[in-house]
Amino acid sequence: MTSADGWGDDVYQPDPSEIQEDSGVLDVEDTLDFDGVADPLDRGWSPPERPLAVNHFGVTAAEAKAGETLDQRLAEELPDPAPPDDDGIGDCAGTDGEPLDDEVGDARSGRLVAPDEGAHEDDEAALVATDVGIDGAAASAEEAAVHVIDEDSVSG
């Protein structure tokens, strides 16, 4: 095959009318996420205007080659913050227990079924359901979390 046969002629080459311009950064109205910034070019992170680790050991080649001693590493560590004496949460003094909640009962509820049983026409405007019992211990986590409470004991 010779160069006159046109090796490159068989390859598709778009004509200038088919070439689209690069649109660059999309405008806010052309994207699906809005993060509160009107101009997309205003997004970003600006590094702090201070030198980073210039006083730290190991910046120079000689320090990096020599390595850091254990004492130097330990001197750079920060102590753990002390836990607060009282965080105001919990029902027992000196523990991390959960607060008492009068909307959590001791008796677990079973499956809740609406009056229309999920298959018939819904004549009831309110969200009501009947407890039909625990269904063979095959409850989902959401169903197992529902407990029966006494309406008279609920405050508020």
pLDDT at 71: 93
- How many CB atoms lie under 10 A from the CB of residue 139? 16
Count CA atoms within 13 Å of residue 92 on its CB side.
5
| pLDDT at residue 70, rounded to an integer | 92
pLDDT one-digit tens code per residue, 103-127: 677 788 778 788 887 788 878 778 8
Residue with tokens 């409470």: 149
Q: Which residue has the tokens 């523990």?
A: 95
- Chain segment 134-152, per-residue pLDDT in tens: 776 677 788 778 887 777 7
Tell me the pTM.
Answer: 0.30
pLDDT in tens, 42-85: 777 777 788 777 888 888 889 889 999 999 989 889 999 887 66
Spatial contact of 111 and 139, defined as CB atoms under 8 Å apart: yes
